[in-house]
Amino acid sequence: MLDIARATIEQAARGDIGAFEEIYRKTSGFVYNVAWRVTGNREDAEEIAQNVFVTVYRKLAGFRFEASLKTWLYRITVNLALNHVKKVSRARNVTVSYDDALAHPETGLEAAAASVQEPADRDRVERILEVLNPDQRACIVLRSIEGMSYQEIAQALNININTVRSRIKRARTTLSALQRKGIIEGVTS
C-alpha cells in the first residue's frame, strides 16, 4: 500500500472526490486482499471491499490521525469481514469442513504467503486458512501474510495484545496438530 499524504486524507475528509479516488486507487487492492484472506471467498471479499469504502467515505471526516490510515483500514476491513463470516455461518448453519479444506497436501503459511501471486498458491493458502476460526484467521493473516507486529494487529482489530498472542498461538497449535496427523504438510509455527 502506497503512502497517502495527510493533505490528501484531509481533502477527502472535506468531500473532495478526487482525493477520495486517490485513496481508493492506492488502497483498494490491499483492502480486497485482506477481506479475501479473512473470508476465503472472492465474491464476499468484493462485497466487503465495497462496504469498506462506503464506510470510509462516511467516516473519514472523523479520522483523527491517532493511528495510520493503514491501521484504520485494517480495522474496518477485518471487522466487516469477520462480521460477514459470522453472519454467513449463522445463516447457513455451516461449519468448515476439515475434510474438504484439507483434501490436498499443503505448504506452510509463511512459505505460501511469499508466493501467493500464483493461483495455485492462493488456493493453498485459502485451504489452510479455512481450518481456522475467523478470529484466528484474521490474526494469522495480519501477522504471517501482511507482516504486522502484534501491537499493530491489536490496534487494527481493537483488541488486547494478549488476545492477539492467544489467537495466533491457538491457530498455530491447530495447524501443527493437523500437520502431525499428516493432514497438512509444511506448516511452520
Q: Which residues, 6 or more positions from 47, have their beta carbon under 8 angstroms from its beta carbon?
A: 84
Q: Between 1.10.10.10, 3.40.50.720, 3.40.640.10, 1.20.1250.20, what CATH number should domain 96-189 receive?
A: 1.10.10.10
- CA dist 34 and 44 (Å) reads 11
Confidence of residue 127 (pLDDT cuts 50, 70, 90): confident
pLDDT digits (tens, 9 = 90+) for 150-167: 988 888 888 999 999 999
Q: Three-class SS string for 62-108?
A: HCCCCCCHHHHHHHHHHHHHHHHHHHHHHHHCCCCCHHHHCCCCCCC
Pinpoint the residues of the chain covered by CATH 1.10.1740.10: 1-94
Confidence of residue 184 (pLDDT cuts 50, 70, 90): low
The predicted model scores a pTM of 0.61
Q: Which residues, 6 or more positions from 13, have their beta carbon under 8 angstroms from its beta carbon?
A: 60, 61, 63
pLDDT at 113: 46
Does residue 114 have a pLDDT over 70?
no
Does residue 122 have a pLDDT over 80?
no
| Pair 9, 63: CB distance under 8 Å | yes
- CA dist 128 and 175 (Å) reads 8
Pinpoint the residues of the chain covered by CATH 1.10.10.10: 96-189
Confidence of residue 92 (pLDDT cuts 50, 70, 90): low
Q: Does domain 1-94 have CATH number 1.10.1740.10?
A: yes
CB-based burial label for 166 (10 Å; 0-12, 13-18, 19+):
middle
pLDDT digits (tens, 9 = 90+) for 63-87: 989 888 988 999 999 999 988 888 8
